[in-house]
Structure 1
């Protein structure tokens, strides 16, 4: 089963990478928002290269020796918060992840997209790849309802369900789980690899739902790939409403204790080897990119030893760090 793709869109030289990455680690570290802090405030699920640690600087692509991603030259790291189920008795249990149906037997993880999107309306003829040392976030634990069209959920009727997105958690049990969707901004100021809040060096014109983003403004004129995550959370084992709160409200919370879902957020640290990502953005076919791939088994094998050791599974009296 093919677990990566580079698909051509309607316009010439527009395409996107879609590929899977297995889970690298689940622990309380956040080298973007809380660099050097051990442990970070809340739990994250992390994919990508094995250079991941509490303090990351420089060219990550030169520091990792393996990756959980299908493209073996992608040593970037990608992470989000972790989803928990809250029992009506007040205890918590981590919700497992499962891979997109296109991605084979990956261990958990996420689907990652790098999209060449709507650059023609921006007067551009090139997508500029991220640079070594680049990092960014999308969303925050304090995000309000509907403030970011790139942050959504889909109540999965089956593993291939798409569309019908909401900005908060689904209110009813979902037959095939919940998909969390994170679309990052794609307009860069052309100068800064980061900013104090990890967002101001970028500007979002995304409209969500993988629709064409708007043109970049003059303050952030450089069109970069539209990065997106899809995380499939297998909530099906918790679909018995007798376990849900007595008032019938939805029972899922992010690992920073958000029961609404508006505060979902994602982090990215660029780590592609050499010019691999730029080659992909310059091409409209997988063969034209010359990207190196690896097997699902190889991706699943890549791992790191956790810096923070604590119990994050089983029934917990409180969320890790809370």
Structure 2
């Protein structure tokens, strides 16, 4: 309880958490969201995941949040951890892919609006086939998946993209990277069961989207890159698609699987003073995999009628609800992220065949 009191007090004082029943609000003034990977003072406070945005608090009890206060404590908290500052041997890659196909669309959001079907803008869901407003850790674990690895029953979702009012859904397995967001890639550990969070905000402005620490290349199509909103047009060819890449925070407070704003239990790494090293802040010392969405939408030509269900292109955001089989996720994280490899969904790095694969030909533990 003391931890919750300190967290709420700190967020209210900073203007970061203004819990309402209306959903997501605006950004507080004085935002300092320069991505750590580009430039940030090592003495600056760590960037929180929400960067001043507000999220609706859960106001009803669920199987995961029995008292309905918005806090979901970890079953096994991780305590006594200090941010890793070791510099292991340099590896350009430390990642694997979770290739997951679109399963359905629905105006639900089990993180922001649990138990309230139809309360959200429309979302495009990937991975778990059962995701809806009533999803919980247990329901996802008992569901099925359209990820290549059967052990990945996690739920991934984002606002639905449309052109002229007609949904345009990504085709085939989409690329969801699991990477190291910190310099000491050997310190990365698997997600705790039931962890969930929201990346970005549907009400962020164009400038807030551009300056968000998760921003990579914005919207891109053909030779057009770093677009904050949708480009007006793309080359019309069979292999041209509209793409977006966006990174999630990768530092965890070690205590909560969710918080009322669905973001403050997570943080982006910061640059260690006097170095170029990315480390987790003391408030969120546990290094987890950094998820990066790399979505491809089969649309090109005139994009003047392209919209997201949440609004303009800069309203892009996404949600993640972890329901991995724990041994499978650990095998991939240990082999590929901690091992410094560039792996596919099997945990195989074709440039290092001698390292073998984490999973068998069926994408399961051998």
What is the TM-score normalised by the length of structure 2?
0.61
**1:113 aligned residue:** 177
Is 1:291 paired with 2:291?
A: no
CA positional deviation for 1:172: 3.0
- In structure 2, distance between residues paired with 1:280 and 1:60: 23
Give the 3 Å change call, closer, same or farther, for CA 20–143 of structure 1 in structure 2.
Answer: same
**1:153 aligned residue:** 218
CA positional deviation for 1:28: 1.4
CA contact (8 A) 2:219 2:228 kept: no
- In structure 2, distance between residues paired with 1:96 and 1:51: 18
CA contact (8 A) 1:149 1:206 kept: no
CA positional deviation for 1:255: 0.8
CA contact (8 A) 1:185 1:206 kept: no
- In structure 2, distance between residues paired with 1:18 and 1:199: 23
CA positional deviation for 1:10: 7.4
Unaligned runs of 5+ in 1: 1-8, 87-91, 99-105, 245-249, 296-322
CA positional deviation for 1:192: 0.7
SS of alignment partner, residue 193 of structure 1: strand
Give the 3 Å change call, closer, same or farther, for CA 115–46 of structure 1 in structure 2.
Answer: same
- In structure 2, distance between residues paired with 1:32 and 1:142: 17
Where do 1:196-235 residues align within 5 Å?
196-205=260-269, 214-235=278-299
Deviations 1:78-98 (A, max 9, x none): 000011124xxxxx2222323
CA positional deviation for 1:40: 2.8
Is 1:83 paired with 2:137?
A: no
Deviations 1:175-202 (A, max 9, x none): 4121122211001111111111110000
SS of alignment partner, residue 233 of structure 2: coil
- In structure 2, distance between residues paired with 1:203 and 1:85: 34
RMSD: 2.8
Give the 3 Å change call, closer, same or farther, for CA 36–61 of structure 1 in structure 2.
Answer: closer
Give the 3 Å change call, closer, same or farther, for CA 174–36 of structure 1 in structure 2.
Answer: farther
CA positional deviation for 1:13: 10
- In structure 2, distance between residues paired with 1:119 and 1:53: 36
- In structure 2, distance between residues paired with 1:164 and 1:205: 25
Give the 3 Å change call, closer, same or farther, for CA 28–96 of structure 1 in structure 2.
Answer: same
- In structure 2, distance between residues paired with 1:150 and 1:12: 21
After TM superposition, which residue ranges in structure 1, 4 or more long, deviate above 4 angstroms?
292-295
SS of alignment partner, residue 276 of structure 1: helix
Deviations 1:97-156 (A, max 9, x none): 23xxxxxxx2xx521110024332xxx732121111110110111112224142453322
SS of alignment partner, residue 330 of structure 2: helix
**1:97 aligned residue:** 170
SS of alignment partner, residue 282 of structure 1: helix
CA contact (8 A) 1:61 1:272 kept: no
- In structure 1, distance between residues paired with 2:269 and 2:126: 26
Q: Report 1 or 2 for greater relative contact order, CA contacts < 8 Å, sequence distance ≥ 6.
A: 1
What is the TM-score normalised by the length of structure 1?
0.69
**1:167 aligned residue:** 228
Give the 3 Å change call, closer, same or farther, for CA 13–148 of structure 1 in structure 2.
Answer: closer
- In structure 1, distance between residues paired with 2:299 and 2:126: 20
Give the 3 Å change call, closer, same or farther, for CA 49–129 of structure 1 in structure 2.
Answer: same
Is 1:16 paired with 2:68?
A: no
Give the 3 Å change call, closer, same or farther, for CA 15–125 of structure 1 in structure 2.
Answer: closer
- In structure 2, distance between residues paired with 1:203 and 1:39: 29
CA positional deviation for 1:274: 2.4
Unaligned runs of 5+ in 2: 1-87, 342-346, 349-355
Larger deviation: 215-224 or 146-155?
Answer: 146-155
Paired residues, number: 249
